[in-house]
Chain A
Amino acid sequence: MNLRLKQIALPLSEFTLEVDVEITRPVTAIRGPSGAGKTSLLDLIAGLRRPKSALIQLDDRVLTDTATGRMVSARHRQIGYVPQDLALFPHLSVRKNLLYGHRPEGKTADGHLFSYQHVTDVLEIQSLAERSVVHLSGGEKQRVALARALLTSPRLLLLDEPLANLDSGLKAKIIPYLTRIRDEFGLPMLYVTHDPDEVRDLCDHQLWLERGRISSAPR
């Protein structure tokens, strides 16, 4: 993966998010205190916010370039996004949530299709298909949100503190699923977290974001 985030400037309420970095490792953690701009950075990459200036390029595809006015819409970016609150659609069943953005044409690094069968097998959620997402446990919701993002056959997966709302027991259960996603799907990921243990278990590399500025280690 090569994700270029160049000359990014996005005014936030208390500071401006200013990032200039090139990310090449498969799984990169973004750490930093609350309110540092981590979610805003993921929103920018996903195409949910319009920056004052930015060049965002994923491999050979320019997603945002304010110099030329190019802004690929969120729907066409093929970037899977699991936000912190998961944003599962409460009026739809698990199956309908999963199939909402299903693009069956994508393949994993080892040639598996991002098929409904394969993804729900890996995350062990097949038995939940007909249930309401409202009545799932925290860990089940987490896995459904991950599966929904995977079924879009994304080229990059953005995970915004995916384990933040879980207790330590549930975290210990979910981390192996994330490891499986990393290993089986070979998907590049940006992983926002506060937890150094998650970084150690899952990530190849970490960046530190504080008041909108990025560095390779805490200041």
Chain B
Amino acid sequence: MSVQEWQIVWFTAWVSALSTITILPFGLAAAWLLARHEWPGKSLVETLISLPLVMPPVATGLILLKLLGRRGAIGGWLHSRFDLDIVFTWRAVLIALGVMSFPLLVRSTRVAFEEVNPRLEQIARTLGAGNFRVFCTITLPLASRGIVGGMLLAFARALGEFGATIMVAGNIPGRTSTLSLAIFQNVQLGRDNDALHLLGVSVLLAFAAVWGGEYFLRRKPGFK
């Protein structure tokens, strides 16, 4: 593989990892609120979170483009206030990957939280623990397999993202080109060998992420 191809692989891997880490605190908060509390508007929020799973990715990308462009509500504000541009930069890739993989993280994490016996949390409170300590020492460790599994699924989803990314970040070599975009471009230009190289790397990365996710979901919990 060429240096340029390795750059694409490296960029895709780190931006996917960074997007997964960035959405993690928001995903944990959303999953915990959905799993443990009843509140007005909950079903609306549930639906909104799941939308990127069912909408065409390019439609999600278009929404992001309208919001994050210089004339968009968020993008305009960031540009005027901080002189910061989002679209057609690596930040746009990061946001597109995060938005598209967020539902997978929340779904997996929510199930993990729901599987933690609430009685354990209640008894921890009678033992003197406050909500934060209960969450950190009981809920989070007992849900950790599902959370890690969800993170790996989100990472795998981010690796393969195409539609939203090309809408909001374009396909700029050396700046926003990810594995999926580069494969598409190589096929379009008739460079099948280059496309096959990147395809092989994609399969390996996706396989490792999904296999890792399955491993964490199925392994027996240990104790400390």
Decide if A100 touches B129 in the complex (CB within 8 Å): yes
Partner of A75, one of B126, B141, B221: B126
Cβ of B129: which chain A residues have Cβ within 8 Å of it?
75, 100-101
Is the beta-carbon distance between A87 and B120 smaller than 8 angstroms?
yes
Contact between B126 and A90 (Cβ–Cβ < 8 Å)? no
Please give, as numbers and ranges, the residues of chain A lying within 8 Å of B138 by CB-CB distance: 89
Confirm or deny: A132 has a beta carbon within 8 angstroms of a beta carbon on chain B.
Answer: yes
Please determine whether B127 and A101 come into contact, CB atoms closer than 8 angstroms: yes
B224 within 8 A of A: yes
Q: A29 to B110, alpha carbons, bound, how many Å?
A: 40
Inter-subunit contact B223/A90 (CB<8 Å): yes
Are A89 and B124 in contact, with the CB atoms below 8 A?
A: yes
B123 touches A87 (CB 8 A): yes
Within 8 A of A (CB), among B76-127: 117, 119-120, 122-127
- Are A87 and B119 within 8 A (Cβ)? yes
Tell yes or no: A165 within 8 A of B by CB. no
Contact status of A91 and B142, CB under 8 A, knowing A75-B130, A83-B119: yes
Tell me the complex Cα distance, A85–B129, Å.
20
Contact with B along A42-63 (1 / 0, CB 8 A): 0100111000000000000000
Which residue on chain B has the smallest CB distance to residue A101? B127
- When distances are taken between beta carbons in the complex, the residues of chain B under 8 Å from A132 are 223
The answer to whether B125 and A91 touch across the interface, beta carbons within 8 angstroms, is no
User: In this assembly, does B128 line the interface, its C-beta being within 8 Å of a C-beta of chain A?
Assistant: yes
A residues less than 8 Å from B141 (CB atoms): 91
- Among the listed B126, B137, B224, which residue makes an inter-chain contact with A77, where contact means beta carbons less than 8 Å apart? B126
Contact A74 B130 (CB under 8 A): no
Q: Which residues of A contact B130 (CB under 8 A)?
A: 75
Q: A48-B122, A74-B122, A85-B119 are in contact. Are A91 and B127 (CB under 8 A)?
A: no
Q: How far is the CA of A101 from the CA of B124 in the complex (A)?
A: 8
Closest partner residue, chain A, to B222 (CB atom): A91
Interface residues on B, range: 20 to 34
Given A89-B120, A89-B138 in contact, is the A46-B222 Cβ separation under 8 Å?
Answer: no
Min CB gap A79→B, angstroms: 6
A103 and B127 alpha carbons, distance in the complex (Å): 9
Q: Which of A74-95 contact B (CB under 8 A)?
A: 74-77, 79-81, 83, 85, 87, 89-93
State A91–B125 Cα separation when bound (angstroms).
17
Tell me whether A75 and B223 are in contact (CB under 8 A).
no
Could you say which residues of chain A place their CB within 8 Å of the CB of B117? 87
How far apart sit A100 and B125, CA to CA, in the bound complex (Å)? 10
Residues A100 and B142 in contact, CB atoms below 8 Å apart: no
Residues in chain B near residue A81, CB distance under 8 A: 123, 126
B178-224 interface with A by 8 A CB criterion: 221-224
Task: Name B121-164 residues within 8 Å CB distance of A.
Answer: 122-130, 137-138, 141-142
Distance in Å: Cβ of A198 to nearest Cβ of chain B: 22
Measured CA separation A152–B123 after assembly (Å): 12
Which of B122, B137, B222, B223 interacts with A133 by CB under 8 Å? B223
Q: Can you list 7 A-B pairs with a CB-CB distance of less than 8 A?
A: A75-B128, A76-B128, A81-B123, A85-B119, A91-B142, A101-B124, A152-B128
Chain B residues with a Cβ under 8 A of chain A: 117, 119-120, 122-130, 137-138, 141-142, 221-224
Enumerate chain A interface residues (CB-CB to B < 8 A): 43, 46-48, 73-77, 79-81, 83, 85, 87, 89-93, 96, 100-101, 103, 132-134, 148-149, 152
Identify the 9 closest CB pairs spanning chains A and B, nearest first. A101-B127, A87-B123, A74-B125, A132-B223, A81-B126, A101-B128, A87-B119, A48-B122, A91-B141
Q: Besides A89-B120, A89-B124, 19 other CB < 8 A contacts?
A: A47-B125, A48-B122, A74-B122, A75-B126, A75-B127, A76-B128, A77-B126, A79-B126, A83-B123, A85-B119, A87-B123, A89-B138, A90-B223, A91-B222, A91-B224, A101-B126, A103-B128, A149-B127, A152-B126
